[in-house]
Amino acid sequence: MLYLILLSVPAAVLVWHLTAKFKHHRQQRRRSALQRKPLPDHCQAILQRDFALYRKLPVESRAKLHGHINVFLDEKVFVGCNGMEITERVKLLIAAQACLLILNKPTDYYPGFETILVYPDTFVVSVTERDGMVHSDSVSVRTGESRHRGPIVLAWDQVLHGASDERDGHNVVMHEFAHKLDEENWSMDGLPVLANPQQYAPWKQVLTEAYAQLHRAIEQDSHDVIDDYGATSPAEFFAVVTETFFEKPKQLKHQHPALYEQFRAYYQLDPIQWGEARDL
Ligand SMILES: [Zn+2]
């Protein structure tokens, strides 16, 4: 009997391993077919009309983005809340903004969650804060939320605004999906998975200095291109700098050249090169 059990454990591990390998292989085949599939013209027209950064993308990058959007729409589930109707336009504009972050990165398409909840506008969440033995409950009004290993929650009016205004430095979809990239190594702490081990030391040094610089700017009431909300925590800093990197690239490079370079290497993109020149 013991002999049979000892024999069956390696067999079960082998079956599990082969099943996982088969599933992975099938998923890669499905993804690469979707990546090659053109995005229908009417979908491209929606992006052209409603997504300002899309209009600035080089043509070859647009084609690559279309492929990522196809995979994203195939793998993620959209749920309307508070009467929100999930239309093709809703899905497309969320997918396009989320996929811009992973345009050139090796990606597993935001693993670990699949549901995106969409409210018509700002939504309210209950927040419990703990200070020792004291627990206090309150409500918080939000435009977006990324729940750890759980769904992304978005306010549609803010999704639309983020897509249409590419220069104000605010983009709720990019912000929340940056949090998802950050937690791919399980902890949401402003240190995402980097391409190689040599990148970690300069990443930590540059982001720590820029984070301290933002705190100093707030204390001294001087201007920093990075929104004050980035000073909340290293995780928020990463998400807010991501918004700034895509929406105010020239200003970010001008004020924080080393930080810009870290984000350019991380996203493997250089938004300064996109579209028409932007004013400082
Ligand atoms: Zn955040």
Indicate the pLDDT class of residue 23, thresholds 50, 70 and 90: confident
CB distance 140 to 125 below 8 Å? yes
Specify the pLDDT at position 4. 63
Question: In the chain, pLDDT over 70 holds for what percent of residues?
Answer: 96
Specify the pLDDT at position 3. 65
Q: 269 C-alpha to center of ligand 1: Å?
A: 22
Q: 117 C-alpha to center of ligand 1: Å?
A: 16
Q: Is the pLDDT of residue 5 over 70?
A: no
The reported pTM is 0.90
Q: Is 70 left (phi over 0), alpha (psi -120 to 50) or beta?
A: alpha
Q: 98 C-alpha to center of ligand 1: Å?
A: 14
Among 11-25, 168-182, 232-246, 263-277, the minimum mean pLDDT is found in: 11-25
Q: 230 C-alpha to center of ligand 1: Å?
A: 8
Q: 179 C-alpha to center of ligand 1: Å?
A: 7
Q: 232 C-alpha to center of ligand 1: Å?
A: 9
Q: 229 C-alpha to center of ligand 1: Å?
A: 8
Bigger pLDDT: 62 or 130? 62
Pairing outcome for strands 123-131 and 134-142: antiparallel
Specify the pLDDT at position 137. 81
> What's the CATH fold of domain 35-273?
Collagenase (Catalytic Domain) (3.40.390)
Calpha distance 244→167 (Å, rounded): 9
Indicate the pLDDT class of residue 277, thresholds 50, 70 and 90: very low
Specify the pLDDT at position 279. 38
SS3 sequence, the chain?
CHHHHHHHHHHHHHHHHHHHHHHHHHHHHHHHHHHHCCCCHHHHHHHHHHCHHHHHCCHHHHHHHHHHHHHHHHHCEEEECCCCCCCHHHHHHHHHHHHHHCCCCCCCCCCCCCEEEEECCCEEEEEEEEECCEEEEEEEEECEEECCCCCEEEEHHHHHHHHHCCCCCCCHHHHHHHHHHHHHHCCCCCCCCCCCHHHHHHHHHHHHHHHHHHHHHHHCCCCCCCCHHHHHCHHHHHHHHHHHHHHCHHHHHHHCHHHHHHHHHHHCCCHHHCCCCCCC
CB distance 143 to 172 below 8 Å? yes
Q: Is the pLDDT of residue 280 over 50?
A: no
- Domain ranges in the chain are 35-273
Q: 101 C-alpha to center of ligand 1: Å?
A: 15
- Taking a 5 Å cut-off on Cβ, the residues next to ion ligand 1 are 236, 239
For 78-108, what is each residue's pLDDT tens digit?
999 999 999 999 999 999 999 999 999 999 9
Q: 238 C-alpha to center of ligand 1: Å?
A: 9
Q: 175 C-alpha to center of ligand 1: Å?
A: 6
Average pLDDT, the chain: 92
Q: 89 C-alpha to center of ligand 1: Å?
A: 24
